[in-house]
Amino acid sequence: MGKKELKSFFEDYLKKDSLFKNKKALQGNYTPKSVPYREEQIEVLAGILAPALRMEKPSNIFIYGKTGSGKTLCVNHVADNLIKIANEKKIPLKIFYLNCKMKRVADTEYRLVAQMSREFGIEVPATGLPTDEIYKMFVNEIDKERLLLLLILDEIDQLVLKTGDEILYNMTRLNSELKKSELSIIGISNDLVFTDNLDPRVKSSLSEEEVVFPPYDAIQLQKILKQRAKIAFKDGVLGEGVIEKCAAYAAREHGDARRALELLRVSGELVERSNQNKINESFIDKAEEKLERDRILDIVNTQPKQFKLTLYSIFNYTNNGAPIFTGDIYDFYKEACVKTGVKPLTQRRVSDIIAELDMLGIINAKVISKGRYGRTREIGIAIPQSTVPKVVDILKEGLNI
């Protein structure tokens, strides 16, 4: 694009009306005024937490539900209202929201407590102190005066997966160390069977109350989408059947409302970019493709070198149609290491890396037994053919091949 055309491109862009009235309504962190189809859960939550306003410690709560079923949204909704009232009535209530999946923020015991301490204005170093030391600091700080603490731990299953369940035991035990203040925990989990392999002591004290968020069905998703679309888009932009299709796609994926909204937003963006002014069904397919491609490219881009090398080996090792096994990949990988001057990892480690790549959904790696010929993983590529070349390019670039 030449200089002149570029200028007129931007000018044209400005002249064009946007399809969007308020794009924020379709973005992940948007908080709508009401949460449809979750009245029941909100009511239950409110009921459990309400004693906080009388300075009585609310029960610990455990919340289950698949991704995009409105867990976080509802909890925050209730928490916001609660804290508003508490502030009005001058009740010493504090609510923390921590997402345990956030890398380098709250994904270990130390960091969790450190993060909470920071919210209280205590300077805590990122490392160097023993964990019980910062526990002590935290306890001292919150126990200075009477205080009710509500700790919302989002994606708590990830935390336990990484660090074990004693962390939860410690958290629940904190109450016995606190003289004046009290602490309640709200755990949010995507994993429905998460508590099954939890220490029974932890389990019973943590899930005094349980709230389940069932997935939305297609009809409910439609209503939600309509509500948001009304805020987000200008009138007459949405074509026939668009909402329905978005809802159907998301319903297929265990009723993930977040995904449905994302789909709608990206469709809108694609339409805008192609200089049209109406969203029709075909754009939803394109949007889904784009979302998926972006997700993959993003994952691939952010992997560490050894993961990239392993992935490169998987994409480049061909056995003309025959199934591919861990051993094959490891051999290829070792050669690739020699070529790129990287010190090869042990097979043990590469095996783990393959398992992790499988978890990320880039490859399929199924453990199979070949009988007399051993037990291994059968590896296949799990991304659409059309994105493979692009991924290989990224890998080559990242590895200087």
Partner DNA sequence: AGGTATTCACATGAAACTATTCTCTGAGTTAGG
Partner DNA sequence: TAACTCAGAGAATAGTTTCATGTGAATACCTGT
Q: Which residues contact DNA (rule: CB under 7 A)?
A: 103-104, 107-111, 125-131, 304, 306, 325-328, 330, 343-349, 351-355, 367, 369-377
> Smallest distance, Å, CB 116 to DNA?
13
Tokens of residue 139, six digits: 């306890």
> Smallest distance, Å, CB 189 to DNA?
20
**Which of 306, 364 has the CB closer to DNA?**
306
**Which of 30, 317 has the CB closer to DNA?**
317
> Smallest distance, Å, CB 72 to DNA?
22
**Which of 85, 368 has the CB closer to DNA?**
368
Are 324 and 378 a contacting pair, CB within 8 Å? yes
Total Cβ atoms within 10 A of residue 148: 23
Q: Which of 270, 300, 272 is nearest to 391 (CA)?
A: 300
**Which of 146, 366 has the CB closer to DNA?**
366
3-state helix, strand, coil in the chain (%, to 5): 55, 15, 30
**Which of 67, 170 has the CB closer to DNA?**
170
Residue 51, Cβ density class (10 Å: 0-12 exposed, 13-18 middle, ≥19 buried): middle
262/266 Cα distance (integer angstroms): 6
Angle (CA) 252-254-256 rounded to 5° is 95
**Which of 275, 319 has the CB closer to DNA?**
319
> Smallest distance, Å, CB 100 to DNA?
12
145/92 Cα distance (integer angstroms): 9
Are 227 and 260 a contacting pair, CB within 8 Å? no
4/7 Cα distance (integer angstroms): 5
**Which of 225, 350 has the CB closer to DNA?**
350
Q: Where are the beta strands (DSSP E) in 22-122?
A: 61-65, 93-99
> Smallest distance, Å, CB 96 to DNA?
17
Q: Which of 85, 80, 95, 77 is nearest to 53 (CA)?
A: 85
**Which of 77, 111 has the CB closer to DNA?**
111
50/45 Cα distance (integer angstroms): 8
Residue 182: phi, psi to the nearest 5?
-140, 155
Beta strands at 182-189 and 61-65: parallel, antiparallel or unpaired: parallel
> Smallest distance, Å, CB 185 to DNA?
19
